[in-house]
Amino acid sequence: MPLSLPVISTEVRQALDAGRPVVALESTIITHGLPRPRNLAVARDAERQLRDAGVVPATIGVVAGTPTVGLTGEQIEELAADEAAVKISTRDLPVAVARGASGGTTVAATAFLARKAGIRVFATGGLGGVHHGAATTFDESADLVTLASTPLVLVSAGAKSILDLAATLERLETLNIPVVGYRTRRFPGFYVADSGHDLEHSVDTPQEVAALVEARDALELRSALLVANPIPPERQLDPELHRRVLAEAWEEAERQGISGHDSTPFLLDHIRRATGDRSLEVNIDVYQNNVALGASIARAMAG
């Protein structure tokens, strides 16, 4: 019998059928992004935050080879505790299904599965992008390519600050992915509210985002709408501390010969340790801020 994937929870399916607001949440923040047991607490808090806002949460992941939209509380607990859980991007989905693997879905895989389920809004922390040195290594996140053909709304705090943000913005333009700042004309840098890069467009309300989505869909464009939502300045990592620690992290990575896919976890771990876990708290604040905006946008789009 042919597989029918992803599996969509009854709660999420009923909400979608009734036109109620639903927000997708990724699961790599649970499996790889946060330390245990904080990962489980943050996952539960995000779902509770959405429910309190009148929105149905749809945490997405792969459990024993089954891509699932709307993980149960027990499934989230399993992924949070599973040290063997793998990181699953879009290209990894068929492998995970065929081998019965469990893991957290990246922004790319989560966006793909959310769209297949009919979910129109997705909130995450930071977007992947173009890495430094990509002109020779071609090291670029699959997030960008997936979003170019996945028409949903992605709320993120810009892109991770360890990336080449100028190149990332250029790729977003090339891929026809519209980027709008939420109440800002400056591209956020995840830990910091202002990465130093300008944005051409901004919006001030969730209703404006809903209007942009309506226009995009009427034009039959197939790309995501990226809503760049900066962390409030009073909650950001001190910009000067961020600049210094990031420079130190790159110097240490070069000294140890760390490159390629090993760079990201090394750099993020160095930043966390060098800031005395302050960057971890900012990471969580960023995520919660984006979940809140995602809820408001989903409500506006639901009418």
Question: The CATH number of the domain where 203 resides is what?
Answer: 3.40.1790.10
Say whether 102 counts as a known binding-site residue.
Answer: no
Rounded to whole angstroms, the Cα distance separating 172 from 149 reads 12
Q: What does the pLDDT average to over 251-278? A: 84
- Lowest mean pLDDT, pick from 56-70, 74-88, 177-191, 248-262: 248-262
Count of domains forming the chain: 1
- Within 10 angstroms of residue 200's Cβ, the number of other Cβ atoms is 11
Phi, psi of 55 (to 5 degrees): -120, 145
CA distance 115 to 9: 15
- Predicted confidence (pLDDT) per residue in 17-65, tens digit: 999 999 999 999 999 999 999 999 999 999 999 999 999 999 999 999 9
Instruction: Supply the pTM of this predicted model.
Output: 0.95
26 in catalytic set: yes
pLDDT at 1: 42
Among left, alpha and beta (phi > 0; psi -120 to 50; other), residue 54 is left
Residue 18 CB neighbours (<10 A): 9
116 part of the active site: no
What's the pLDDT tens digit per position in 129-166?
887 776 677 777 899 999 999 999 999 999 988 888 99
Q: How far is CA 210 from the centre of its chain?
A: 19
Mean per-residue pLDDT, 115-120: 98
Q: Which amino acid is at 287?
A: Y
Calpha distance 225→303 (Å, rounded): 18
141 is in an annotated binding site: yes
Catalytic residue of the set 160, 234, 251, 252: 160
Name the residue range of residue 35's domain.
5-299
Per-residue pLDDT of 193-225, as tens digits, reads 999 999 999 999 999 999 999 999 999 999 999
**Active-site residue, from 11, 26, 74, 254:** 26
φ, ψ at 175 (rounded to 5°): -85, 5
116 marked as part of a ligand binding site: no
- CA within 13 Å, CB half, 268: 19
87 assigned binding-site residue:
yes
Determine whether the annotation assigns residue 139 to a binding site.
yes
Strands (E), the chain: 7-8, 22-25, 56-63, 66-69, 86-88, 103-105, 121-123, 153-156, 179-182, 186-189, 192-198, 202-203, 225-228
